[in-house]
């Protein structure tokens, strides 16, 4: 018989606060057109993107995360010292070790929390949220800071007509803590590694180092049509599974916050899921672009800040991308 004492966590977990940071520089499509043969009309019709934010040298992955985290902590009414773990999802922090989460924890004054990075692409926020929920319920941390942050401008090939216009920079953060009622539903997540070549880094770092220095810096590339079909048809199924797991129907939803990859994908998912007209749909991609792991918390923060969504609303969130990986859950908005 085990001698291990049972965990003393909370029966449930919830998102208590959210914060976002967008770099000060706004980059309209006209800037992108300086390096690719295209048009503003083509970019908007293909992606719905009109502009995006690009970080300055001072707006590092850590610096943007600190700004977003400060807002999330203030929104939650939680002091940095109360944070028991910091989880950062990013694919654009170029220092292999230590984890940028440790730097962020120190800079926000969090004391000595557990701190680590995860790499799950555009599904990374959902992965981090799920881990945070488990920590709170299990009792290893009372409050967890979950951050999605990217500087994808560093990994964008501005001469690639298929991707140059897609990516933006930014950071989004949430504080997850105890709850007396269910407020983060079961997560439906997974991976399809047989499709890993559809979104990838062009050249591995070791290969880049060992080849001619004239070679282009590694960038993100993707097979657009394959990704589109997968996202529209397969991710709508995952979203429905998350609704089923939470025990609700589309009629029970107030808000839909999908990964902000492409406006056409978002609109197609809304149609496939047959979401009622009363459901508010996040379309932050228009002015923020695709910010990978940061896109869901950034979209959530904007919906709440503008009043398009309100505290207590029931929201379906789903992230999907490189891997190919995905994660979907239903949450109560802070």
Q: Which residues are catalytic?
A: 122, 259, 290
Cβ atoms of residues 153 and 167 within 8 Å:
yes
E strands in the chain:
12-21, 25-28, 51-54, 83-89, 114-118, 143-151, 169-179, 188-191, 199-201, 220-222, 255-258, 280-281, 314-321, 325-332
- CB-based contacts of 86, cutoff 8 Å, min separation 6: 101, 102, 104, 105, 110, 113, 114, 115, 116, 144, 145, 147
Residue with tokens 């459901």: 279
Tokens matching residue 155: 């990994």
| 3 state SS of 218 | coil
- CB-based contacts of 112, cutoff 8 Å, min separation 6: none
Give how far Cα 212 sits from Cα of 1, 194, 202, 217, 308, Å: 61, 30, 15, 11, 51
Phi/psi at 295 (nearest 5 deg)? -70, -40
């Amino acid at each position: 018989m085990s001698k291990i004492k049972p965990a003393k966590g909370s029966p449930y977990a919830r998102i208590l606060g959210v914060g976002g940071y967008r770099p000060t520089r706004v980059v309209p499509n006209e800037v992108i057109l300086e390096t690719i043969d295209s048009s503003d009309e083509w970019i908007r019709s293909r992606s719905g993107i009109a502009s995006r934010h690009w970080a300055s040298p001072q707006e590092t992955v850590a610096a943007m995360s600190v700004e977003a985290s400060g807002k999330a902590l203030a929104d939650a009414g939680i002091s940095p010292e109360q944070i028991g773990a910091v989880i950062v999802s990013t694919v654009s922090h170029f220092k292999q070790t230590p984890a940028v989460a440790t730097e962020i924890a120190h800079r926000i004054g969090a004391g000595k929390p557990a701190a680590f990075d995860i790499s799950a692409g555009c599904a990374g926020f959902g992965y981090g949220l799920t881990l945070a929920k488990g920590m709170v319920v299990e009792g290893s941390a009372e409050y967890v800071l979950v951050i999605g942050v990217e500087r994808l401008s560093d990994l964008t090939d501005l001469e690639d007509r298929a991707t140059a216009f897609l990516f933006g920079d930014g950071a989004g953060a949430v504080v997850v803590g105890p709850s007396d009622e269910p407020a983060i539903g079961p997560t439906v997540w997974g991976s399809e590694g047989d499709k890993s070549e559809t979104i990838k880094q062009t050249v591995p770092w070791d290969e880049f180092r060992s080849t001619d220095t004239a070679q282009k810096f590694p960038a993100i590339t993707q097979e657009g049509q394959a990704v589109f079909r997968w996202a529209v048809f397969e991710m709508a199924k995952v979203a429905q599974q998350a609704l089923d797991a939470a025990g609700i129907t589309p009629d029970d939803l107030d808000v839909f916050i999908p990964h902000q990859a492409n406006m056409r994908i978002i609109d197609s998912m809304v149609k496939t899921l047959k979401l009622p007209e009363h459901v508010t749909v996040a379309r932050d991609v228009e002015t923020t672009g695709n910010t990978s792991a940061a896109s869901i918390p950034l979209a959530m923060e904007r919906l709440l800040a503008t009043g398009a969504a309100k505290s207590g609303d029931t929201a379906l969130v789903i992230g999907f991308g490189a891997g190919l990986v995905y994660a979907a859950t239903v949450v109560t908005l802070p």
